[in-house]
Amino acid sequence: MSLRRFTEHALSEWMRGEGPQSDIVISSRVRIARNLSGLPFPMLATSSQSAEVVRKVEEALRQNPVDLVIREAELIRMDDLSDLEKRVLVEKHLISPHLAEESRHGAVILSKNEAVSIMINEEDHLRIQCLFPGLQTDQAWRLADELDNGFENTLSYAFSEKSGYLTSCPTNVGTGIRASVMVHLPALAMTQQMNRLFPAITQVGLAVRGIYGEGSEALGNLYQVSNQVTLGQAEQEIIDKLQSVVRQMIEHEKNARERLMETMRTQLEDRVHRSFGVLAHARIISSKEAMERLSDVRLGVDLGLLSSVSANVMNELMVKTQPGFLQQHARMRLDSDERDMRRAALIREHIHKQD
């Protein structure tokens, strides 16, 4: 496999299939944090110690029995990537901003369909990430657990009988599992219900973050909902609580969509078609406006108000219009004005291709 396979295609293979509740839930992710015994956490490790972690994980990868999943996986070292290539992988949610910007001797193992991403020397030695379309946290957890068990057959993890798996961040100590679901909530945003919903979610031990996780902005009405604590809770308990809360969010969003269709259908149609018109004809468009307009159009597709484009094209454009991907596609650095022009041209091209 070539690195270009991961950086030139916006839509990962795992995203092409439709999962449960895919009109609202974009994806489900489970990430497991693990550290190797006898070696310092990445933030304290020397260069030679970090390189040893990569060597041990690479060796374990060759011996991992879960070969059907990662048989054609590729280990990519961050030092071999340009800043733009790293940014594209962040925009596709295949690596974290921390791994791209701050890790020493960082690397990532990517499966062919990009559903499995195993980060090495991020905040922890290993972060095993599994991604599924729609609401499939159970399936993501089963695969992550299977991969984790496979690595544990070869690697010795840092573990305490009292505290569980030891991690660099105290909130991950215990099971080390972080489950998250990315949801599209345009109707709740339009009806101004978010300020009431989010505090209720945090009260039950979940966090709501932006599109790229902690500290990021919620662009295009996309939010990540995840567990905050792993200590003292069983893995399935964490998954079940997240699923329960997300199902309630789905219900709230569906109710809000129904009310909009019943009471403001003409205004909603106008908003959807105006956004479609801007995307189809604009010559200059910022990243933020593009995400807002794409959110409107995606809602129109899901409600049957637009039939000329597919939800997959909207998913693809949400990645392709990001700054890193635009510059990777252009094969050059672009300033803000140049990105806005290329973004508009790219969107026009995709929409007219659909027509």
Cα(304)–Cα(290) distance, integer angstroms: 21
Contacts for 171 with CB less than 8 Å, ≥ 6 apart = 228, 229, 230
Task: Give the model's pLDDT for residue 10.
Answer: 65
Fold for domain 3-256? Creatine Kinase; Chain A, domain 2 (3.30.590)
Q: Taking the mean position of all CA atoms in its chain, how far away is CA 249?
A: 19
Give per-residue pLDDT as tens, 133-180: 999 999 999 999 999 998 998 899 999 988 889 999 888 888 999 999
Cα(25)–Cα(19) distance, integer angstroms: 8
| Residues annotated in a binding site for ATP | 27-31, 93, 127, 178-182, 209-214
Give pLDDT < 50 ranges for the chain.
1, 68
* Look-up of token digits 């690595």: 151
Task: Give the model's pLDDT for residue 230.
Answer: 76
Task: Give the model's pLDDT for residue 3.
Answer: 64
Q: Positive or negative CA dihedral for 301, 306, 307, 313?
A: negative
Residue type, 243: Q
Cα(351)–Cα(355) distance, integer angstroms: 6
Task: Give the model's pLDDT for residue 11.
Answer: 67
Task: Give the model's pLDDT for residue 41.
Answer: 95
Task: Give the model's pLDDT for residue 278.
Answer: 97
Task: Give the model's pLDDT for residue 219.
Answer: 82
Contact between residue 292 and residue 278 where contact means Cβ atoms under 8 Å apart: no
Q: SS3 for 226?
A: strand
**Where in the chain are the domains?**
3-256, 265-354
Name the region of 38 (left: φ>0; alpha: ψ -120 to 50; beta: rest): left
SS (H, E, C) 137-175: HHHHHHHHHHHHHHHHCCCCECEECCCEECCCCHHHCEC
